[in-house]
Amino acid sequence: EDQVTQSPEALRLQEGESSSLNCSYTVSGLRGLFWYRQDPGKGPEFLFTLYSAGEEKEKERLKATLTKKESFLHITAPKPEDSATYLCAVQQGYGGSQGNLIFGKGTKLSVKP
Amino acid sequence: DTGVSQDPRHKITKRGQNVTFRCDPISEHNRLYWYRQTLGQGPEFLTYFQNEAQLEKSRLLSDRFSAERPKGSFSTLEIQRTEQGDSAMYLCASSSPFRGRPTYEQYFGPGTRLTVT
């Protein structure tokens, strides 16, 4: 069964304290891996798409990397405004659904000043 | 470009009533998706359309749920005879094929929060 597991469930950091969030996945052929940010009461906001192992994407203080089994979202010198839930999702490449994303439960990040 | 919009943003209804939600996708996007999200969980896929054709429905989509996209633009999601277990955030997303890419990036709307009392 296709699965996406994110860890940790919650992460509390001090402002400036760098860390990483993990997303491990099992899927029958990966078409793409996506990272989203979600603020309370709002819809997910698209951050990155990764397509193949070894690929990296960066945006401000965030950097996403991908291996054959997992993805990491590295946060460098976070600020309080980075506080949010970060969601990882995958899309299958072979058989199964060609449309939907399979999401993990997310990592809730809190950055204290 | 105004992004994906959803209406209403909040809906409170009594058990057994019918409710309908609307989603307006990004204008040039031909794919539209519905997801449901409960507290502490990631979004779960319900159904998606390519233009006006409904291409896939999840097992989560019981007979009480129906979705339409009559002209390939906006979409509606109707829940009949609501139950307390239907309380959730209903999210809409849209996407468009990107040449040279193997998949489509989905952009989400703000969601409709449904509370069934």
Q: Which of residues 25-44 of A touch B (CB under 8 A)?
A: 31-32, 34, 36, 41-44
- Residue range A21-34: mean pLDDT, rounded: 90
Q: Which of residues 57-86 of A touch B (CB under 8 A)?
A: none
Q: How far apart are CA B47 and CA B7, in angstroms?
A: 18
Find tokens 């001090």 and name the residue: A14
Beta-carbon contacts of residue A48 (< 8 Å; ≥ 6 apart): A34, A35, A57, A59, A62, A64
How many residues does the structure list for chain A?
113
pLDDT at position B98: 63
Of A41, A97, A103, the CB nearest to B56: A97
Provide the pLDDT confidence category of residue B65 given band limits of 50, 70 and 90. very high
From residue A19, give the alpha-carbon distance in Å to each of A15, A40, A49, A104.
11, 22, 20, 19
A41-94 tens-digit pLDDT: 999 999 999 988 999 999 999 999 999 999 999 999 999 999 999 999 998 765
Name the minimum distance, in Å, from the CA of B15 to any CA of chain A.
23
The answer to whether B75 and B67 have CB atoms below 8 angstroms apart is yes
* Pairing status of strand B112-116 against strand B88-95: antiparallel
Q: Is B85 helix (H, G, I), strand (E, B) or coil?
A: helix
B97-114 tens-digit pLDDT: 766 665 678 999 999 999
pLDDT at position B1: 55
Sheet-wide strand order for A62-66: A3-7, A19-26, A70-75, A62-66, A56-59
